[in-house]
C-alpha cells in the first residue's frame, strides 16, 4: 500500500529535514492508505482526523488504520446540501467528482452525512482528495492560515488556478505538481519561503 504514496509517490516533496507536524486532517481518506504513509513521512504526528463518504472505502479504512488512533468520520466535507454519491445515482458526467449536490429528489437513504468546512478542526497538514470539493473547502476552512502543509488532488481543471491563487495568497509555495490524469493534478503546498 505504501508504494503509491512514497518514497517516489504522488504526495512526496523535497524537504530540507524533518518537519514537526502534529495534526493531520485527511478529507477523502478512502481506504486509509495515505494515513499509513503519513505516519511514516511525519513520525511526529499525534492526531489524525479522517473523513470518507463512501461506505465500502470507509469500512476498509476502519480495518486498515485500526489501532493507529485515527478519529474517523463517515461523511462528505462540503458546503452543499442534499449530497449523493454520483456513482450511486449513475451520473457519469459527475464521476470526475464523486458526488453530486442539490439532488433533492433522490431517496433519503442516498444522501450522505455532511460536514461543513468551517466545522473542521485546526491542523498542521490538510490533505484534500474530495472529488471536486477542494476549492469550496479551501475557501471555507477557517484555519487555513494556521496550516503548514496542504496536499490537494484537484479533480476539475477549472479549479487549478483558483486553488493555486488562494493557497499562494495565504503564503504557501507549491513544492510539487504532478499531473496524474487529464483532469487530475496532485499538488503539494508548503508554507513559504
Instruction: Tell me what pLDDT residue 8 has.
Output: 54
**Nearest CA-CA partner of 135 in 34, 50, 27, 37:** 27
Instruction: Please determine, for residue 124, whether its predicted confidence score (pLDDT) is greater than 90.
Output: yes
Higher-pLDDT residue of 180, 161: 161
64's enclosing H/E stretch is helix 55-64
Instruction: Please determine, for residue 191, whether its predicted confidence score (pLDDT) is greater than 50.
Output: yes
CB 35 within 8 A of CB 137: no
Collapsing DSSP to helix, strand or coil, 62 comes out as: helix
Average pLDDT over residues 132-145: 93
What cell was used for 99? 458526488
pLDDT digits (tens, 9 = 90+) for 145-164: 999 999 998 876 678 889 99
Collapsing DSSP to helix, strand or coil, 149 comes out as: strand
pLDDT digits (tens, 9 = 90+) for 49-90: 999 988 888 999 999 999 999 999 998 899 887 676 654 444
Instruction: Please determine, for residue 169, whether its predicted confidence score (pLDDT) is greater than 80.
Output: yes
CA 192 to chain centre: 21
Instruction: Please determine, for residue 3, whether its predicted confidence score (pLDDT) is greater than 80.
Output: no
Domains of the chain: 20-79+118-169 (3.40.50.150)
Instruction: Tell me what pLDDT residue 113 has.
Output: 84
Task: List 191's β-bridge partners, or say none.
Answer: 172
Instruction: Please determine, for residue 48, whether its predicted confidence score (pLDDT) is greater than 60.
Output: yes
Region of residue 106 (left: phi > 0; alpha: psi -120 to 50; beta: else) = beta
Length of the chain: 193
pLDDT confidence band for 93 (50 / 70 / 90): very low
Amino acid at each position: 500500500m505504501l508504494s503509491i504514496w512514497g518514497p517516489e509517490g504522488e504526495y512526496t516533496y523535497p524537504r530540507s529535514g524533518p518537519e514537526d507536524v502534529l495534526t493531520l486532517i485527511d478529507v477523502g481518506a478512502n481506504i486509509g492508505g495515505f494515513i499509513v504513509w503519513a505516519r511514516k513521512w511525519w513520525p511526529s504526528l499525534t492526531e489524525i482526523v479522517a473523513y470518507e463518504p463512501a461506505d465500502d472505502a470507509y469500512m476498509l479504512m476502519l480495518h486498515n488504520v485500526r489501532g493507529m488512533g485515527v478519529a474517523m468520520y463517515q461523511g462528505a466535507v462540503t458546503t452543499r446540501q442534499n449530497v449523493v454519491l454520483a456513482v450511486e445515482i449513475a451520473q457519469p458526467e459527475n464521476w470526475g467528482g464523486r458526488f453530486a449536490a442539490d439532488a433533492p429528489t433522490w431517496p433519503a437513504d442516498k444522501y450522505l452525512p455532511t460536514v461543513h468546512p468551517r466545522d473542521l478542526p485546526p491542523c498542521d497538514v490538510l490533505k484534500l482528495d474530495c472529488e471536486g470539493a477542494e476549492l469550496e473547502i479551501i475557501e471555507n476552512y477557517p484555519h487555513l492560515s494556521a496550516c503548514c502543509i496542504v496536499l490537494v488532488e484537484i479533480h476539475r481543471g477549472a479549479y487549478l488556478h483558483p486553488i493555486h491563487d488562494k493557497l499562494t495568497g495565504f503564503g504557501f509555495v507549491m513544492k510539487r505538481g504532478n499531473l496524474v490524469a487529464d483532469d487530475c493534478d496532485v499538488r503539494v503546498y508548503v508554507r513559504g519561503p
